[in-house]
Amino acid sequence: LRLSKVSIFLGNVVNIQTGEWKSVISGLGAGLDSFYEYLLKAFVLFGVEADLRMFQEAYALIISQLRRGRDRCVLGEGETPMYVNVDMRDGSLLNTWIDALQASFAAVQVLNGDIDEAVCIHAIYYSLWKRYDALPERYNWHLKIPDVYFYPLRPELAESTYMLYRATQNPFYLRVGFDILHSLNTFARVKCGYATVHNVVDKSLEDRMESFFLSETVKYLYLLFDVNNAVNRNEERIMFTTEGHIIPIDKRIRDPVYDAPQYFSRNHSCIAFKLDRHRPPLDQSRLAQIFRLAGIGLGFSGSNF
């Protein structure tokens, strides 16, 4: 974990021969999303505590420096919690867009046990999906319009939806999955497959389908609804890579300290989460607030979901 010599932040592009940072953007989207994911998953797979410490340090920095809005997602007053892009040199706000790859961070937060935070970041991307029936590659939250209009059938929202449903069993996330499926079948389905959406506003298409649509997007949606699938029955013994490949969690390749319950429970714990499966994870007023962030008008009613 090599940080800037003048900053505590990570950039998103580095020259691996010189160590020079080539891009000063520090955020949760393209170029950085999988890094944070793999710090945590490396610990789960191999039990090397140094990986967990690096993730915890990085996560604390994300919460303190990249997060904006009220202190708690589901409680209190103030703006909707969200994560912004900052300049790695001084931590100042660098731009006012979020990108589609950041939608996967909710799944990382689920794995970290921070369900409250995952609920909020997921809701932001779901609200964008409700507005466009797709996820623009970049969305300007200040201007409330896309900065980059195409949607190449990315899996990140489907992945986080699946992970939140597995963690909470809240049927709200089945509805989200249904909405994703309906939009894909309505606007992206073509004779020989599913096409990249060139423009999320006019729904024009491109003559291509990315491989990750089948290996990830479809996989997560399938597993979301196939609750008795062997993958779901054995979810505590497997891990998804950032590309959606399934690999086993095997004690033969882990530090044995990781498998000592008394050691782990004494040194680590998850954030408490109040589980209520009979209502949406956010109340109507907070859902409406998030939908306004996505540019959906004040007429939104949570009763529609």
Residue stretches of the annotated binding site for Ca(2+): 242
Query: What is the side-by-side strand order in the sheet with 97-99?
Result: 97-99, 138-140, 145-148
Helical axes 218-225 vs 156-168, angle rounded to 10°: 20
Residue 235 is a catalytic residue: no
Bridge partners, residue 240, by sequence: 246
Q: Which of 37, 57, 117, 137 is catalytic?
A: 137
Query: 151 pairs with which residues across the strands?
Result: 197
Copy the structure tokens of residue 255: 């530090």
**Residues placed in the known binding site:** 242
Tokens 């003559």 locate to: 207
> Measured between alpha carbons, how far is 129 from 294 in angstroms, rounded to an integer?
9
| Other Cβ atoms closer than 10 A to 16 | 6
Say which amino acid occupies 173.
Y
For CA atoms 37, 111, 62, 52, give the dihedral sign: negative
- Catalytic residue numbers read 137
